[in-house]
Amino acid sequence: MAEKFELIFKPYRHDKKFKMQVEVIHRSEQVLRFKITGGDKYIIMEKLLFKKTGNWKISDTNTNLLSGSLEQTSYTIFELQQQLDAYINKDKGRSKQNPK
């Protein structure tokens, strides 16, 4: 069964907060893949664990990320990454032999 949790998200220059559902759809020693859903929109983000920089990658989405300003889009993605990193760091109690 996939791990699921909620996060409260406030987009850049918005007064309103949004509740988003997050599902861990893949977990291995090399990558964590999250599906973030809000309403009928979703974005799939991957955290590459084998790189020292801890790069993130957007692998799929059904929303046009370039519809807003570049500043708004980059801030939104950055905030999602920060919240997911906090979840990952909180979850570090798992053993390497059992990453699932």
Measuring CA to CA, which residue among 37, 40, 50 is closest to residue 80?
37
* Per-residue pLDDT tens digits for 27-58: 998 999 999 998 898 999 999 888 777 789 99
How wide is the angle at C-alpha 11 spanned by C-alphas 90 and 78, nearest 5°?
Answer: 50
| Residue 53, pLDDT score | 73
Residue 95 lies in a domain: no
Judge whether 98 lies within some domain.
no
Q: Domain tally for the chain? A: 1
Residue 23 lies in a domain: yes
Which range marks the domain in which residue 18 is found?
A: 3-90
Whether 81 maps to a domain, the answer reads yes
To the nearest whole number, what is the mean pLDDT of the chain? 83
